[in-house]
Amino acid sequence: MLAELDAIDGNDPVSRLRAFIAAGSYKAGDRLPAERDLTDQLGMTRSMLRKALDSLERDGAIWRHVGKGTFVASRGLDHVAASTGGSLVELGRQLTPFRMMRARLAIEPAIAKEAAINASGAALMQMNVAMERAHSVSNWQDYEIQDDIFHRAIAEGSDNLLLLALFDQLNVVRRAVAWGSVIRQSVKPAADHSSFREHEAITAAISRRDPDAAYEAMRNHLRSVSARLFEGA
């Protein structure tokens, strides 16, 4: 199988991992081999594998259950984009970043509210792991990966496949939006980056099963992000 994967793209760990899943005929809910076995089968380092796993988890192609392993998701972003004929991607290309944030404000607080009612311990663990990893990143790209994983864990916590699919489709559009006008002033988030505190507030509200507080915490977070991006706050 390694030779077949080399033919895919020897320099792209994400492509290799996707090809491995496809070649192995994994179905939704199937567990992937342990990381140690994957590094051997894919011919990559543990660091490369973890970045590839993070990318696929962010895209909704896989999900992780602490203590149990990594599983193939029922609806990855590639499937979402394909099933809509690319229309979501095209929509994103026509959408401004400001309107994208307005859409998130309309949808994600409600998802957080549902998560406060329904989130499992595993979903809460995923939120906490993503928050911890976000603190140790060395660049904005890695931070955004953990940020995506954090927000998707909340959607998974809603325990509602329709809301999860809606969140995934929102992310398809978000990735197609032209964010080129958004300029970062540093190479990575500062230690006092406001999103760290905001993520903690969201997770705390969900953990104590307070739907209204979770709704407000998510809304406050997205408003804060919007202010930083578009108002220079």
The per-residue pLDDT string of the chain (233 residues; one tens digit each, 9 = 90 and over) reads 444 444 444 457 888 888 788 777 777 678 899 999 999 888 889 999 999 998 888 777 888 776 678 888 755 445 444 544 456 667 777 778 888 899 999 999 999 999 999 999 999 999 999 999 999 999 888 888 889 889 999 999 999 999 998 898 888 777 777 565 556 678 888 899 999 999 999 999 999 999 999 999 999 999 999 988 776 53
The closest alpha carbon to 228, from 111, 98, 96, belongs to 98
Numbered ranges of CATH 1.20.120.530 in the chain: 84-230
- Cβ contact 206:119 at 8 Å: yes
Residue type, 156: E
Polymer length of the chain: 233
Q: How far, in Å, CA of 179 to CA of 175, rounded?
A: 9
Q: Where in the chain is the domain with CATH 1.10.10.10?
A: 2-72
Q: What is the CATH number of domain 84-230?
A: 1.20.120.530
Percent of the chain with pLDDT over 70: 80
Class level of CATH domain 2-72: mainly alpha
The pTM score is: 0.65
